[in-house]
Structure 1
């Protein structure tokens, strides 16, 4: 994630940041009345800001923190359970994280990294539960097997190679492989019913997988933050960011209900506004954002609430993307648990909208084009014609074509059982490579500027699942002089902090056992 030059904190942040009294047990939380000064501003009420607020409470509980969310409620965009966030990405089943080389060998490196990062999130969530996070862990995380599924001889050869590469990694212990139809009928009965008897099939399964409702988790985190004194302002849009000569940021905000405008000064700003992050970072004027652009992609899913269908598919199953399709288009049939109800989602079906947020403006994309990123964006347009053609095909796709894609997964699917829903917007990162050419990046990017006084997160997948790891990276880069002092608290909250679980089997075993027990994941 760290691709931009490391930022160091300004002189203002090298000093001890002013604290304020925290509410004692039994007292009402600090009022959300207007403030003019705060130590930290978090822009956006999603999982990234919520996670950073939680980490700051671990390492710097006396810092004052203010959150601005433009929507009436938090977790309404990318963190919403129906807006692409929540599959619990841990690379157990996502095939785009395990590419095969020309010789057929599978490189497990990216999958291992993503799984490491997901384990960091699990450790932090376990810490929060121990600390009294409201509700049961089952409100936001539940055990669900993760399955990878392919067809054809080439697919089976790839799956064997993938299993061989991953099974040797400690983080993927217990990963099973089969090409036996009887075994698959027990793993994924809904997908095997009606499948041609002569079709070659193969799959891997991990029973260590989970489903995560990041919408609920975000709300729990921010409710807890408010209870300890963090001010969370909803219906409040950040209009501008300006850095003063003293190094502090003036954050200009507007109440979307009353229209009132005001300014808040802060020593540090995190822009975790999903698709809205790029325009705000551009307004900040930091040099580090020059050359960055965004490519928005919308998505749709087919969803069913049929008890019969849901009961026959208790897993998350990922397949292979079509030839020429982008990584974000990998088809999958997911069991989801949202607000206590089980459903199935199949997709995604890609689309195009110039909006950077689901509730954004049709002018988001054109407004983001500037002289410093024009070459990058034009370069991507020239070199990504297959993606452009793929999106055109998806936009023009008929209901029948969508159903045909579903029947590749569920041969006996009845279109009357499925409804089409619109998911959230993803803004893929466009940046310059080492040769100055524009490239489209399917991942996340942490941009740090203003001598470490401002940071923003751009991009999409794996996103929410690796929020804790991403925010730890932010702490390292923006507050390097504090990290050693913070290490004991961080290690208490996240035992693997500063270490790789894949290099320490004993620690890995302890972490997996502990988080499974605390998060109630033992079956």
Structure 2
């Protein structure tokens, strides 16, 4: 049932009530309080997909421990350029959160200090990790990172990792105390609670955007269906932000903008093993990242993580990758086939042709037994007791496939912003590092899509929210030290 006589106007409609939309909405309200904003969410509450605490690793990705951000180059040197980008992008998140905490908008119990570690087994991998540490620790952004091959020293950092291990086995680890565990679901709820106190803000749950098109008088018209009653309503907006995780791609395709041509998605699901036994979880205080299996996606890098969720300490291991044709954890099995278009068939086929190792890896993961999963965990925790662990399904990630001149299609593992020529509609596609760099992503989007406003009066306010705005923490060691000390004090994190 549709009532076309009622049109609800908004300056900006944000689709999806996760960390991305709530972060952008807070930015917009801080920069221009009179804006009328509406968030539309298909599920019954916020942060129930990728932003949920059990649907992501909550690492607070600062590229301290993720080895996929520091590849070995052909000349034998380690490239840390991507790691430095992610590292300083997370600093922007820390600054923005500190600003909100200082003004009383949110509190800090969504983030906790947890050291970040890399851990490898074998002489070749140890040699790589040692070279990586030498390169990273020479840069001021990684000051305080330690390296060791000594079993006793590594046991001080992560006792579970070393107990029961062959004393003659070659191992190596790096350790940095400035890491964090972040509950992005809790943070999303805090941001939304703050937004609800603002004039001109609305959030609507159990409602799904079924279609959207340009309005003849400018802006966009969205058709929104109430999931409970089946009624539909039109919503007209000047700007639309598609921050619905895997649900963003289908809506981007429906928009008809030429910039969406050729995009496709490759869904990858995740599974965790988790332990609630405090006698075990209480003895582990680190996020320990290993090296990914050949052909595996970056989101499948194995890690043994301390998690603090709802005041309780957990131990989590994974993720084990899986495959589903759903684009969302609570999505439809028809999501992938429904996203196929004439314009993206060739990129999809090209990616299938060029990623045989990934396909073999995913097939192996789908048919993996519990015994095999526990064997993977034993590489990190030799003395585990299987009865301490339970299986949990994590969130769904949709990796980007785009047109590529050299290969016809290319599979990407990052986060991408796609917007129309007039910037009236913006979609956020992709996965890792995702939530950890949500603030940087939103600032980048504001710079690209609202540059006129930035030239005007937004820059001073952005500089208030993010003191390092417009300057490089990678290049300015003193600024980096000052910013990190300041935000660590507000967020309750450790410094070196």
TM-score by length of 2: 0.97
| 1:212 maps to which of 178, 182, 186 | 182
State the distance in 2 between where 1:174 and 1:348 align. 28
Is 1:203 the counterpart of 2:173 in the alignment? yes
State the distance in 2 between where 1:127 and 1:481 align. 24
Q: CA-atom RMSD, angstroms?
A: 1.2
State the distance in 2 between where 1:171 and 1:253 align. 46
The DSSP-based 3-state class of the residue aligned with 1:514 is helix
The DSSP-based 3-state class of the residue aligned with 1:157 is helix
Is 1:372 the counterpart of 2:358 in the alignment? no
| 1:399 maps to which of 364, 370, 376 | 370
What is the aligned partner in structure 2 of residue 494 from structure 1? Answer: 466
Is 1:62 the counterpart of 2:46 in the alignment? no
Show CA shifts across 1:298-330 (max 9, x none).
Answer: 110100011111122110000001223232221
TM-superposed deviation, 1:499: 1.4
Is 1:173 the counterpart of 2:148 in the alignment? no
What is the aligned partner in structure 2 of residue 16 from structure 1? Answer: none
| 1:326 maps to which of 282, 290, 297 | 297
Aligned length, in residue pairs: 488
**TM-aligned CA distance change 1:507 to 1:65, over 3 Å:** same
Runs of 4 or more consecutive aligned structure 1 residues displaced over 3 Å after TM superposition: none
The answer to whether the 8 Å contact 2:7/2:233 transfers is no
State the distance in 2 between where 1:437 and 1:131 align. 49
Is 1:296 the counterpart of 2:251 in the alignment? no
Question: Which range moved further: 261-270 or 94-103?
Answer: 94-103
What is the aligned partner in structure 2 of residue 182 from structure 1? Answer: 152
What is the aligned partner in structure 2 of residue 477 from structure 1? Answer: 448
The answer to whether the 8 Å contact 2:350/2:407 transfers is no
Is 1:73 the counterpart of 2:49 in the alignment? no
The DSSP-based 3-state class of the residue aligned with 1:431 is strand
What is the aligned partner in structure 1 of residue 123 from structure 2? Answer: 153
Matches within 5 A, 1:79-478: 79-134=51-106, 136-137=107-108, 139-229=109-199, 230-435=201-406, 437-478=408-449
TM-superposed deviation, 1:155: 1.1
State the distance in 1 between where 2:237 and 2:297 align. 39
State the distance in 1 between where 2:247 and 2:70 align. 30
TM-superposed deviation, 1:71: 0.4
The DSSP-based 3-state class of the residue aligned with 2:426 is strand
Q: For structure 1, list consecutive stretches of 5 or more residues without a partner in the other structure.
A: 1-33
The DSSP-based 3-state class of the residue aligned with 1:501 is coil
State the distance in 1 between where 2:424 and 2:52 align. 28
The DSSP-based 3-state class of the residue aligned with 1:358 is coil
The answer to whether the 8 Å contact 1:303/1:421 transfers is yes
State the distance in 2 between where 1:517 and 1:477 align. 32
TM-superposed deviation, 1:108: 0.6
What is the aligned partner in structure 1 of residue 486 from structure 2? Answer: 514
The answer to whether the 8 Å contact 1:104/1:161 transfers is no
State the distance in 2 between where 1:507 and 1:65 align. 35
TM-superposed deviation, 1:259: 1.3
Q: For structure 2, list consecutive stretches of 5 or more residues without a partner in the other structure.
A: 1-5
The DSSP-based 3-state class of the residue aligned with 2:128 is helix
What is the aligned partner in structure 2 of residue 3 from structure 1? Answer: none
The DSSP-based 3-state class of the residue aligned with 2:192 is helix
